[in-house]
Amino acid sequence: MDIGPGSLSRLNHIGFSVDQIDYLFLSHLHPDHTLDLITLLQVFNSAPETVRQKKFTIIGCRGCNEFLLHIYDLYPDVFPSGYSLEIREVYRDEFLLGDLRVQSGPTAHTESSVAFRLEEGGHSLVYSGDASQQGELTRLASGADLLVSECSFPAGWQTEDHLNADEVGLIAQASNVKSLVVTHLYPPALRVDLLSQIHQHYQGKAQIAVDGLRLSLE
């Protein structure tokens, strides 16, 4: 989900190969969530031993098709050469990918930004992307096993297009998620005890994401 700068090198570092990736979920198109898409497409076309032949699917916010056309304008060499790339734009949607149930809903960070909920075998994961309080994250996350949420700012910070620790705690509590992982921390959020601020509102398990973190829903 999302593919900001450094994603591919971090995946490689923990032993994932790009040919294990068949689906990419894009919450919105800001560079901190998309820059390594260009690298990924380049790798699919030309990296030794990983030249792609099987289909690749992007499930993303409205505007993904146009965004890809801009990428091809800038970097013609990354246009898919040996494989097909399918793009499915979503907003407030629900559908199945095999046994995986996918739901999306607006987060009001940008006009088209979405959060995703994935469910399979009775387990559920929700990823906020970037979000604001005006979005539908609480509804989407209702009862989920795990909410991975942005928490850009500390408690009390005024923000129109991101979440602060108060808002994340309130959303996690209102949606009654079993556990919470926060990510996308801007420097002011790194200078405080963010988890204590979140726990002012949310009684469940919470942690701050780090590179290479592996989580189990079992």
For Zn ion, give the closer residue by CB, 79 or 186. 186
For Zn ion, give the closer residue by CB, 119 or 130. 130
Nearest residue to 94 via CA among 86, 85, 105: 105
Site membership for Zn ion, residue 166 (CB under 5 A): no
CB of 8 to Zn ion, least distance (A): 18
CB of 30 to Zn ion, least distance (A): 4
Handedness of CA 182, 177, 201, 195 (dihedral sign): negative
Give the DSSP letter string of 108-131: SSSSS-EEEEEEETTEEEEE--S-
Show the beta-strand stretches assigned E in the chain.
23-26, 56-61, 85-90, 93-97, 100-106, 114-120, 123-127, 146-150, 179-183, 205-208
Site membership for Zn ion, residue 32 (CB under 5 A): yes
Site membership for Zn ion, residue 111 (CB under 5 A): no
Tokens 């949310």 appear where? Answer: 202
For Zn ion, give the closer residue by CB, 112 or 175. 112
In one-letter notation, the amino acid at residue 53 is Q
Using the rule CB under 5 A, which residue among 36, 89, 119, 130 binds Zn ion? Answer: 130
CB of 184 to Zn ion, least distance (A): 5
In one-letter notation, the amino acid at residue 213 is L
Site membership for Zn ion, residue 101 (CB under 5 A): no
For Zn ion, give the closer residue by CB, 63 or 80. 63
Contact residues for Zn ion, defined by CB under 5 A: 30, 32, 130
